[in-house]
Amino acid sequence: MQATGWIQFVIYIVALTAITKPMGLYLMQVLDANGRTWFDPLLRPLERFTFRAMRVDPQKEHDWKQYTIAMLLFSLVGCLFTYAILRLQHLLPLNPQGFGALSPDLAFNTAVSFTTNTNWQAYSGETTMSYLSQMVGLVFHNFTSAAVGIAIAAALVRGIARQSVKTIGNFWVDMVRTSYYLLLPICGVFAVVLVSQGMIQNFKPYTKAKLIEPFKVSVEKKNDKGETIKGSDGKPVMEEQTVDEQTIPQGPMASQVAIKMLGTNGGGYVNANAAHPFENPTPLSNFLQMLSIFSIGSGLTYYLGQMVKNQRHGWTVWGVMMALFIGGVLLCWWAEAAGNPIHQKLGVAIADGNMEGKEVRFGIFNSALFATVTTDASCGAVNSMHDSFTALGGFVPLFNIQLGEIIFGGVGAGLYGMLVFVVLAVFIAGLMVGRTPEYLGKKIESYEVKMAMLALLILAIDILAFSAWASVSKWGLDGLNNNGPHGFGEMLYAYSSATGNNGSAFAGLTVNTPWYNTTLGIAMLVGRFLMIVPIMAIAGSLGRKKLAPASAGTFPVSGGTFSILLIGTVVLIGALNFLPVLTLGPVVEHFLMLQGKLF
């Protein structure tokens, strides 16, 4: 853990802190149907046109059920839209490499994955997706699934802030305004900055480069039909081939990567995601990408404080997130910097840490920081391969996802997930002192607690049941790239990532099979929409309640006591749900690694 890492860590924290308030204030304007921003002259006419085309009256608000139904319908239409594009890819334009249509199960998995803000990828972009599929089929959801998440968070915050009303805002207004006023302008600037670092943005066919030093490889000999020829001993016949070319992928990457990061989507343009030199060319582009992942989630805590007129509460929630974030980074960084004793025994320099699956330009620290950020949020972009992390280094991203990605979190999803824990923390505090729990003047009653528990149980059941099923099924085990506890970790990570709508992976697992595509697709749908419905119910219920004035017996939701209670609630619930299963995966793997056991 070198000094250069500490300096970068401090810069990151300072930068994140500095953008929180401006982002929060801007969100106040974006999430108000009559809010004003700098972009009004340009975007107001576009917004009006959109509402006219949709025949939506922006001044008319929804109750929680209308809001939820509109959200579900919009997600369904978008999902079908992308499914159609992926299935018809071979007929559509902007496909210079001539890629064929996706199989039905892969198209289902991908459409669901992007609709739910997961961006789980069972394909590799550079050999599967045409420019149109990337730019329209996938980027559409990068914008809208982010906007939907922010809209849900805004609706929940309104439910908390308002009293004695049924309405919690208009879904269409929240979604459209977020896309136009928040995401578009930032992405426009961000994308150009990324190009300045070396990211590509073009519509050319892939480039063929003549290698400086051609090399020979031995490959399986194939006949005209593409089948492997086998010799008399039953083994494939090998032949030497000279490789003298490198194909360099091209395409409209920067515009996609900007929204992929800002909207905590995380779906890579190419297979290696943000580890690819085009998709993350320099340490500076890496820093900006990491900052953009947290920017909106961090700003939303300030928005919360403003809306409920208790900025200390907003900062307390922020502080809890920051504390959990710092803890995760330090553990992951320490584990990766310490490296793998098995490889060190072979002669790998101890000071270098664990470099398998990491890029030299980022080094240990930026890989560990990125891995923690991307899983604290529900982003899922990776600049290093989590599958090759040490046991404890890989434990951090996995556990972050299982906590529900509430540490700044996915845009919107992080805040509404954390508020579920806030409700529970307040409830537990109420039990301890023997009073009816109150949250910001609203009584927390059995209905809210039931809904909050429902949201958490869905998360745990979805992850555990699917992982258990895969680990006793042939289709599950066939996909493994590693043996021993690490192989189990691959499956556990996959269903945690899908349920949490993260999208990162222990990527050795072969998941482009009908079984994995379908089960992971279902896990993503459950993890997104069955979480949102109970949360919207809480929003509706809180909005109808009267505000009770604070009294001497009111439990304050800011300050040290509440922070500790909230951290305790988050960690305890996460640990109770998942420690047993983690023991079978990364925990036992850690001790086996120290003993030098190989699989």
Query: Which helix (H) or strand (E) covers residue 242, if one does?
Result: strand 238-248
Rounded to an integer, what distance in angstroms lies between the CA atom of residue 499 and that of residue 501? 5
Query: Which residues inside 393-412 make contact with another protein, applying CB under 8 A?
Result: 394
Site string for another protein, 262-281 (x = CB under 8 A): --------xxx--xxxx--x
User: Per rule CB under 8 A, is residue 366 in the interface with another protein?
Assistant: yes
Site string for another protein, 482-501 (x = CB under 8 A): xxxxx--x------------
The token pair at 452 is 């909050």
Residues in contact with 298: Cβ distance below 8 Å, sequence separation at least 6, in sequence order: 16, 19, 20, 23, 318, 321, 408
DSSP 141: H
Nearest approach, Cβ of residue 414 and another protein (Å):
22
Nearest approach, Cβ of residue 560 and another protein (Å):
33
The token pair at 303 is 């928005």
Nearest approach, Cβ of residue 92 and another protein (Å):
13
User: Per rule CB under 8 A, is residue 255 in the interface with another protein?
Assistant: yes
User: Per rule CB under 8 A, is residue 368 in the interface with another protein?
Assistant: no
Nearest approach, Cβ of residue 366 and another protein (Å):
6
Q: Which is nearer to another protein, 211 or 576 (CB)?
A: 211
Q: Which is nearer to another protein, 192 or 530 (CB)?
A: 192
Nearest approach, Cβ of residue 188 and another protein (Å):
7
Q: In this structure, which amino acid lies at residue 185?
A: P
User: Per rule CB under 8 A, is residue 250 in the interface with another protein?
Assistant: yes
Select from 209, 236, 208, 206 the least CA-distant residue to 222: 236
What are the CA-CA distances from residue 580 to residues 324, 464, 468, 471 (Å)? Answer: 21, 10, 12, 15
Q: Considering CB under 8 A, how many residues would be counted as binding another protein?
A: 135
User: Per rule CB under 8 A, is residue 3 in the interface with another protein?
Assistant: no
State CA 38 to chain mean position distance: 29
**Look-up: residue for tokens 């090399």?**
215
Select from 45, 20, 346, 369 the least CA-distant residue to 28: 20
Nearest 5°: CA angle at 57, between 52 and 61? Answer: 150
The stretch among 53-61, 418-426, 455-463, 495-503 that binds another protein (CB under 8 A) is: 53-61
The token pair at 570 is 């988050």
The neighbour count for residue 117, using CB atoms within 10 Å, is 32
User: Per rule CB under 8 A, is residue 287 in the interface with another protein?
Assistant: yes
Residues paired with residue 230 on neighbouring β-strands, in sequence order: 236
Nearest approach, Cβ of residue 491 and another protein (Å):
13
User: Per rule CB under 8 A, is residue 69 in the interface with another protein?
Assistant: yes
SS3 257: helix
Nearest approach, Cβ of residue 280 and another protein (Å):
9
Question: Among 201, 541, 554, 563, which residue sits at the site for another protein (rule: CB under 8 A)?
Answer: 201
Rounded to an integer, what distance in angstroms lies between the CA atom of residue 27 and that of residue 17? 16
Question: Among 31, 195, 307, 498, which residue sits at the site for another protein (rule: CB under 8 A)?
Answer: 195
User: Per rule CB under 8 A, is residue 13 in the interface with another protein?
Assistant: no
User: Per rule CB under 8 A, is residue 292 in the interface with another protein?
Assistant: no
Q: Which is nearer to another protein, 228 or 436 (CB)?
A: 228
Nearest approach, Cβ of residue 95 and another protein (Å):
15
Nearest 5°: CA angle at 174, between 423 and 164? Answer: 50
Nearest approach, Cβ of residue 577 and another protein (Å):
24
Query: Which residues inside 328-347 make contact with another protein, applying CB under 8 A?
Result: 339-340, 342-343, 346-347
Rounded to an integer, what distance in angstroms lies between the CA atom of residue 225 and that of residue 133? 30
Rounded to an integer, what distance in angstroms lies between the CA atom of residue 545 and that of residue 540? 9
Helices 588-595 and 485-499, interaxial angle, to 10°? 150
The token pair at 222 is 């194939």
Site string for another protein, 94-133 (x = CB under 8 A): ------------------------------x-xx------
